[in-house]
Amino acid sequence: GNSVTQMEGPVTLSEEAFLTINCTYTATGYPSLFWYVQYPGEGLQLLLKATKADDKGSNKGFEATYRKETTSFHLEKGSVQVSDSAVYFCALSDLRQGGKLIFGQGTELSVKP
Amino acid sequence: DTGVSQDPRHKITKRGQNVTFRCDPISEHNRLYWYRQTLGQGPEFLTYFQNEAQLEKSRLLSDRFSAERPKGSFSTLEIQRTEQGDSAMYLCASSPGDRTTGYGYTFGSGTRLTVV
C-alpha cells in the first residue's frame, strides 16, 4: 500500500541556517504530495502542496519539489527562524483511494536564536 | 465561515464509558475525514464521508467505533466502551473533494481524549 517515510527528528538548527527535511513515498498511482505543519498547541496547517511530477510547492519561504524519479518531496528553507519551530508532516493522497491523506511520522524542528 | 470546528476540545473519561465527538466542516465541503493522532506520530486515517455516505473505514476502526454524517453536514464519532488505548487526538478534516484543489484539506483543532 501507499506509505510516506520522513527523516527522524528532532532537528535542531540555529537561526538563519539552511533546512532540509527528507521525505520519500511509496505509491502505486500518481498521488498529490503535501507538507503540513503543526505549531505547539495548534492544529495541522497546510504548508505547501504539489499535485504532479516536477511541480514545486512553495509558501513562507519553504519549498518542495515533486520528484517522481526518486519518489521524494524534500522540504527546504534557506534561512530558518525561531518561529519555524514546529512539527512538520509529509503526506500524500491518491485520487483513486478516496483522497485520504497518508502521513509520515513527523519531524520536530527546533530553531535556536 | 470559521473553518472546521470540533467539539469538545478535551475529553477525560473513565474506561468503559462511551464518548461522542462532533465535527462541523466547512459548509461547501462535501468530503469529511476522521483521523487519529497519538503522541509522536502522524495522523492515521479512520474513515471518510462523501456527503452523507460513509465510503471507507480503516481497519483501525474497530466495532466499538461508529461515525455518522446525517444529511451530509456535521459528523459525529462515537467510541463505545472506551479503553486506555483509545487515548489520542481525534482530528476532523473537510475537503471540496475535487481534483482542481489538489484535495486541499482543512483540519479542525482536534478533540483530545484521555481515558483513565
- Nearest CB among A93, A98, A105 relative to B42 is that of A105
DSSP code per residue over B20-40: EEEEE--TT--EEEEEEE-TT
**Mean pLDDT (chain B, rounded):** 91
Partner B contacted by A46 (CB < 8 A): yes
> Cell numbers 464519532 label which residue?
B77
pLDDT over 80 (residue B13): yes
Put simply, the answer to whether B102 touches A105 (Cβ < 8 Å) is: no
pLDDT digits (tens, 9 = 90+) for A14-38: 999 999 999 999 998 889 999 999 9
Among A22-31, A63-72, B5-14, which stretch is predicted with the lowest mean pLDDT? A22-31
The Cα A27–Cα A2 span in angstroms is 5
**Optimal mutation site among A21, A44, A56, interface B, most CBs of chain B within 10 A:** A44
For residue A99, give the chain B residue with the closest CA: B103
- Interval A50-65: pLDDT, tens: 989 999 999 999 999 9
Residue B1 has pLDDT above 90, yes or no: no
Contacts of A93 in chain B (CB under 8 A): 103
Task: Give the model confidence (pLDDT) of B44-92 as tens digits.
Answer: 999 999 999 999 999 888 999 999 999 889 999 999 999 999 999 999 9
